[in-house]
Amino acid sequence: MAKYLLGLLLTSTLVGCGSSGTTDEIARPAVAITNLVGIWKNPNPVCYRILLDDGSWRQIAEGPVKLTERIYQESYLYYEDQDINCLTATGAKNYTYSIDWHAPISTETKTGAVRASLTGPTISASGNIVHYDAQLPPITIKALFHEQNGTLTSYFEEQNLLVDTEGYPLGTDTPSSSYVRSSVNQ
């Protein structure tokens, strides 16, 4: 009889779990982003000539990438047209996205990588460049970031064909970009 009562009690306890009328959810694991947060730079930025909206020619090169708990920011540095080696920046344009971090869901995702949804951009400029206040309509980009030995590799959905079932890159093909940690804290 004691076994019966114990079994009945256990059964009623288990039936009561989750019976509040809501569906129980399995929490996704927390993601560690400490090794991703910081200022990153392209070790070999390419300097190239562009025609600006105001009709002037300038040199441009990729600047630092900033990753925080809340934002992803790409920067492009502007140089005078005669500065063909991009030595002295005279202005910058920043593209800032809000970021939402996610744990990978696929066992095929590169080990140690973290998924992120980037929404934006908000565009800002500084220095000696013409900047129009027109903003791009917001878009969401699915990305994957991975850090190993001081090198950050990033993968973006539109540039990487190998994606998980939710459209996030797996990080098993060629990265969209690679950066090294900058010694500059901004």
Tens of pLDDT, residue by residue, the chain (186 residues): 333 333 433 333 333 444 444 433 434 456 789 999 999 999 999 999 999 888 889 999 999 999 999 999 999 999 999 999 999 999 999 999 999 999 999 999 999 999 999 999 999 999 988 777 667 789 999 999 999 999 999 999 988 789 999 999 999 999 999 999 997 554
What is the Cα–Cα distance from 58 to 80, expressed in whole angstroms? 5
**Six-digit token pair at 162?**
């190998």
**Reported pTM:** 0.79
Residue-range definition of the domain harbouring residue 117: 29-181
Q: How many domains does the chain have?
A: 1
Domain annotation covers residue 17:
no
Alpha helices in the chain (DSSP H): 2-16
User: Could you say which DSSP state residue 163 is in?
Assistant: B
| Residue 111 pLDDT | 93
Domain annotation covers residue 48:
yes
What is the Cα–Cα distance from 88 to 84, expressed in whole angstroms? 10
For residue 60, give the amino acid letter. Answer: I
Domain annotation covers residue 120:
yes
Domain annotation covers residue 89:
yes
| Residue 57 pLDDT | 94
What is the Cα–Cα distance from 65 to 182, expressed in whole angstroms? 9
For CA atoms 129, 134, 135, 136, give the dihedral sign: negative
| Residue 4 pLDDT | 33
Strand partners, 30: none
User: Could you say which DSSP state residue 139 is in?
Assistant: E
Domain annotation covers residue 124:
yes
Domain annotation covers residue 23:
no
